[in-house]
């Protein structure tokens, strides 16, 4: 580009073209700089900021006029916020300890030398003061010593009869139902890898290699597979299913390098009294996987915006919904990418989401008919205003940048995002399933990977049983201990159905919980 006056052309039109080109170049560079600044602010917030998506003042309505002018009261609000942060916080009352826990009385008395008053009289007991302190006894490891009596006839030479050993969860193994439940809950609920459990057992003098523990978990998952099959039948009978997927690394997956990623697919459905949460391992994230998982299903499917689910929406009988939280999350990123102390369109969008969720909170406990009626009268008009605002914003915001991408995402999935209004049974988001996936994601940070596909499939089955039990309000260890003891004896579909979380005898589960609180056994 010419840099001196002598190099400039004499033609006026040529000069105009040069000026226009420079302005376009400067504008492009400014957009690039602003995009980089947005990415920097967003990355800084992800590294150092709060991870919660709850916005300050989330319970209040958004006043759009405040964002169309410079608020003169920002400094006053900042001073009030600083004063509030410096005010001493009141401590809440300590919660009482559970009454079902055993109490060990420890009486404290004055020594004999201190029981006399200064006047010479002996002090008398006039009352007591009580307080409680929580104590923990490490898990007790015990050996179940089976003694089987042998019987013989004293008159004839008939072969002797040996008292039968009850059916065991893993035949010819020294693992009891309690030990299998303890290992499974420690790994799949508490995120304790098998190599750490191996070390913990070794401190008590128990030599159990992690390879043995891994084989036991695979066998335990095989034992519970009939129960998982029934859960799949229950899942597919529901009118609404939640679906999501997350990564998992499997070292010895055929045809894939050890560093490649596979996927754990998760699904949830059912009313509170019959909840189902299922995990299923697959080596890929192909769109064919949800088709296989939901073969023959007819109903609503709630997912995020992953393109792999789009093939399902074209199938007869399946209506696809998208999660409102995923759309809101993108505007939260745009809000965080704004220069500090400024407000803009991202704040307006966040407020629309806030109002929609405020409506949902008001009808959370209502029946489907009431939810449908309220959504039609309150949510639909609000969504119409939101759509009009979105159309206007799309005309002024370039698709590049954090805000532009958020707007494009909202526009692309709008029909699926608002579909929840057409039926009172439908959820507004996929939070129900994401909460069930969280234990898997947290555990993955500790155990890092599965060694073989068999181990990954076993993990899927055990996660399914544990998360379904939790969703039904059953303590996982007590349920698994009862389950591993009963499954070897099950011989019919009726027997397996009786072991489902909503059919299980809760008194038996409660008795195991009481026994644990009194003796703290590990087995």
* Residue 51 Cα to chain centre, angstroms: 15
User: Helix, strand, or coil here: 307?
Assistant: helix
Answer yes or no: is pLDDT of 64 > 80. Answer: no
Q: What's the sign of the alpha-carbon dihedral 355, 266, 502, 483?
A: negative
Q: What's the sign of the alpha-carbon dihedral 197, 203, 206, 209?
A: positive
| 383 within domain boundaries | yes
**Residue in this structure with the two tokens 């304790």, named with its chain if needed:** 192
Judge contact between 472 and 275, C-beta under 8 A: yes
| 312 within domain boundaries | no
- Across the chain, mean pLDDT equals 85
| 502 within domain boundaries | no
Answer yes or no: is pLDDT of 101 > 90. Answer: no
Q: Is 475 exposed, middle or buried (0-12, 13-18, 19+ CB in 10 A)?
A: middle
For residue 258, give the DSSP letter: T
Average pLDDT over residues 261-272: 95
Least confident window among 3-12, 152-161, 232-241: 3-12
- The pLDDT tens digits of the residues spanning 72-98 come to 333 444 444 444 445 556 566 788 888
Q: Is 97 exposed, middle or buried (0-12, 13-18, 19+ CB in 10 A)?
A: exposed
| 393 within domain boundaries | yes
Phi, psi of 171 (to 5 degrees): -55, 145
Answer yes or no: is pLDDT of 407 > 60. Answer: yes
If we measure between CA atoms, which residue out of 273, 302, 283 comes closest to residue 427?
A: 302
Answer yes or no: is pLDDT of 34 > 70. Answer: no
> What is the predicted pLDDT for the residue at 86?
57
Average pLDDT over residues 314-319: 80
* Domains held by the chain: number: 1
- Partners of residue 369 on adjacent β-strands: none
| 197 within domain boundaries | no
The first and second tokens of residue 250, run together, are 């499997």
| 368 within domain boundaries | yes
Average pLDDT over residues 126-148: 87
- The pLDDT tens digits of the residues spanning 333-352 come to 888 877 777 788 999 999 99
Whether this prediction's pTM lies above 0.85 is answered by: no
| 415 within domain boundaries | yes
Q: How confident is the model at residue 15 (pLDDT cuts 50, 70, 90)?
A: confident
Least confident window among 17-21, 344-348, 496-500: 17-21
For residue 101, give the DSSP letter: S
* Residue 367 Cα to chain centre, angstroms: 25
Q: How confident is the model at residue 317 (pLDDT cuts 50, 70, 90)?
A: confident
The first and second tokens of residue 48, run together, are 């150092």
> What is the predicted pLDDT for the residue at 17?
76
Q: What percent of the chain has pLDDT over 70?
A: 84
Q: What percent of the chain has pLDDT over 90?
A: 60
Which residues are CB-neighbours of 34 under 8 A, at least 6 positions away? 401
Element housing 245 (H / E): strand 240-248
Which residues are CB-neighbours of 347 under 8 A, at least 6 positions away? 62, 67, 335
If we measure between CA atoms, which residue out of 418, 416, 396, 415 comes closest to residue 407?
A: 396
Q: How confident is the model at residue 374 (pLDDT cuts 50, 70, 90)?
A: very high
- Write out the residue range of the structural domain in which residue 369 sits: 324-429
| 347 within domain boundaries | yes
Answer yes or no: is pLDDT of 521 > 50. Answer: no
Q: In which order are the strands placed within the sheet that holds 276-282?
A: 276-282, 262-269, 240-248, 299-303, 318-322
């Amino acid at each position: 580009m010419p840099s001196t006056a002598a190099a400039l052309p004499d033609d006026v039109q040529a000069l105009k073209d040069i000026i226009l080109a420079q302005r376009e170049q400067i504008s492009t560079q400014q957009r690039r700089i602003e995009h980089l600044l947005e990415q920097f602010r967003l990355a800084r917030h992800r590294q150092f900021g709060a991870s919660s998506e709850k916005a300050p003042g989330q319970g209040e309505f958004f006043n759009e006029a405040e964002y169309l002018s410079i608020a003169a009261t920002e400094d006053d609000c900042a001073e009030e916020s600083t004063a509030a942060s410096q005010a001493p916080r009141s401590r809440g009352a300590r919660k009482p300890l559970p009454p079902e826990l055993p109490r060990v009385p420890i009486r404290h008395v004055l020594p004999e030398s201190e029981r006399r008053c200064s006047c010479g009289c002996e002090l008398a007991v006039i009352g007591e003061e009580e307080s409680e302190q929580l104590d923990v006894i490490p898990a007790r490891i015990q050996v179940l010593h089976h003694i089987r009596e042998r019987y013989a006839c004293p008159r004839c030479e008939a072969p002797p009869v040996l008292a039968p050993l009850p059916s065991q969860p893993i035949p010819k193994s020294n693992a009891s139902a309690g030990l299998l439940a303890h290992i499974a809950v420690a790994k799949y609920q508490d995120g304790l890898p098998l190599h750490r459990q191996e070390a913990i057992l070794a401190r008590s003098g128990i030599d159990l290699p992690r390879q043995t523990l891994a084989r036991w978990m695979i066998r335990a998952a095989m034992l519970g597979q009939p129960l998982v099959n029934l859960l799949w039948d229950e899942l597919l009978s529901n009118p609404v299913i939640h679906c999501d997927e997350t990564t998992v690394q499997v070292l010895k997956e055929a045809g894939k390098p050890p560093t490649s990623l596979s996927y754990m697919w998760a699904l949830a459905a059912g009313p509170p009294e019959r909840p189902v949460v299922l995990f299923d391992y697959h080596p890929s994230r192909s769109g064919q996987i949800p088709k296989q998982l939901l073969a023959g299903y007819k109903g609503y499917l709630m997912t995020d915006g992953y393109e792999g689910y789009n093939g399902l929406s074209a199938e007869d009988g399946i209506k696809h919904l998208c999660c409102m939280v995923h759309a809101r999350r993108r505007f939260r990123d745009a809000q965080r990418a704004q220069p500090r102390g400024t407000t803009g369109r991202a704040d307006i969008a966040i407020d629309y989401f806030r109002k929609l969720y405020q409506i949902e909170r008001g009808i959370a406990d209502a029946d489907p008919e009431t939810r449908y009626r309220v959504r039609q009268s309150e949510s639909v008009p609000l969504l119409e205003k939101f759509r009009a605002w979105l159309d206007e914003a799309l005309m002024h915001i370039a698709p590049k940048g954090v805000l532009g991408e958020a707007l494009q995402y909202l526009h692309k999935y709008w029909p699926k995002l608002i579909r929840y209004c057409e039926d009172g049974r439908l959820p507004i988001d996929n939070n129900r399933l994401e909460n069930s996936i969280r234990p898997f994601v947290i555990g993955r940070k500790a155990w890092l990977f599965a060694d073989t596909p068999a181990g990954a499939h076993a993990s899927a089955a055990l996660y399914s049983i544990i998360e379904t039990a939790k969703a039904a309000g059953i303590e996982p260890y007590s349920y698994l201990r009862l389950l591993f003891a009963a499954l070897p004896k099950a011989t019919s579909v009726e027997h397996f159905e009786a072991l489902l979380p909503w059919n299980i005898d809760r008194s038996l589960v409660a008795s195991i919980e009481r026994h644990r609180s009194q003796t703290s056994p590990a087995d």
